[in-house]
Amino acid sequence: MQRYLVLADGTIFAGEGFGAETETTGEVVFNTGMTGYQETITDESYCNQIITFTYPLIGNYGISAGANESIIPSCSGVIVHELARRASNWTSEMSLDEFLKLHQIPGITGIDTRKLTRHLRDNGVMRGVITNNPDTAAAILAQPARVDQVAQVATPRPFPSAGTGLRVVLVDFGLKHSILAELSRRACNVTVVPYNTSFTQIAALHPDGILLSNGPGNPEDVPTALPLIRELQAHYPIMGICLGHQLFALANGAQTVKMQFGHRGFNHAVREIATGNTFFTAQNHGYAVDPDSIQGTDLLVTHVEINDGTVEGLRHRNHPAISVQFHPDATPGPHDATGIFDDFCAMMEAARSQQKENSHA
């Protein structure tokens, strides 16, 4: 079955269809990871996006439930150069084609993904349509794009991820389950709450610290989070990841900008300014903190991306609050940066000790 990708600038790529037999639209982006296609597809940060995989063969090890980053993927479509004819892995439960059919996500294979990636790098990511009839694309693209991605994917109700240690309230903007896994490895007692939870409701949980999760879309589309973050950082240690990092920056007076094609993959080298140490990171973001906007705020830059100088980490001057643009939880990707979670736990331990001292004074 022939299927087409039609970009907003009129460029058309022809290929073969797989996955769901449905039409879809979304921002067309590319991911440079060589593995981890299931974790990528189920990452809620890709909500309403059509994912192009630059690695030429995708689907060769199938799909297994244990690799999901969310229960229901929210991406709009999947583009690959070659779809594996059969999956070979002892954990595989179904093929990628079957998985996309199950979740009503269309795919297209057989196009030149190198050419598509170069086009997006040169012209910037843009909206596109996966369709069996390219004549319908213009009408679809004329419709306004949704800007409520966080509301689409964030949990509507609180839920626990039980542990025996530090109490963490995780504010969900589009959570990756691997973040919960890293907190669980540190025995944290986590409560996940919706992104629009009030400060009073969070305070009633008596947290030792707050984690602002990753998530999809433009951080400026979540303005209600900013006063909440400002109030939280005055009372609790905070750590932000990806979208949480961008919201932390906005809450403290910095600005964010849309990148031409973003960082999506897990080969991004990041330098920690204080130590000079460099490590590889997993990343998935199309927006970044504007470095010129940080001057005059209470924020300090702690990490930068080596290739393009993107702000990759921040610390508050007056509060125990940090954030990183990359994913220290990885999955997929290198685990070079998992120590960030240890830093967060150390911040919570220090704050807890200080609170005990103050209560005994």
Provide the annotated active-site residues.
242, 327, 329
DSSP 283-301: EEEEEEE-GGGSTTSSEEE
DSSP 135-198: GGHHHHHTSPPP--HHHHHS-SS-EEE--SS-EEEEEESS--HHHHHHHHHTT-EEEEEETT--
Whether residue 4 is annotated as binding a ligand: the answer is no
Angle between helices 339-360 and 177-185 (to 10 degrees): 60
Q: Does 339 show up as a binding residue in the annotation?
A: no
- Closest listed residue to residue 56, CA positions, set 75, 74, 30, 76: 30
User: Which pair of structure tokens corresponds to residue 301?
Assistant: 């830059």
Q: Which residues contact residue 357 at a Cβ distance below 8 angstroms, ignoring those fewer than 6 apart?
A: none
Angstrom distance (rounded) from CA 287 to CA 149: 14
359 is in an annotated binding site: no
Helices 225-233 and 243-251: crossing angle in degrees, nearest 10, is 80
**Is there a binding annotation on residue 313?**
no
**Contact 83/97 with Cβ under 8 angstroms?**
yes
Length of the chain: 361
Question: Is 215 assigned to a binding site?
Answer: yes
Residues 6+ apart with CB under 8 A from 341: 182, 183, 185, 186, 239, 328, 329
217 is in an annotated binding site: yes
Binding annotation: 45, 215, 217, 243, 246, 284, 286-287
Binding annotation for L-glutamine: 45, 215, 217, 243, 246, 284, 286-287
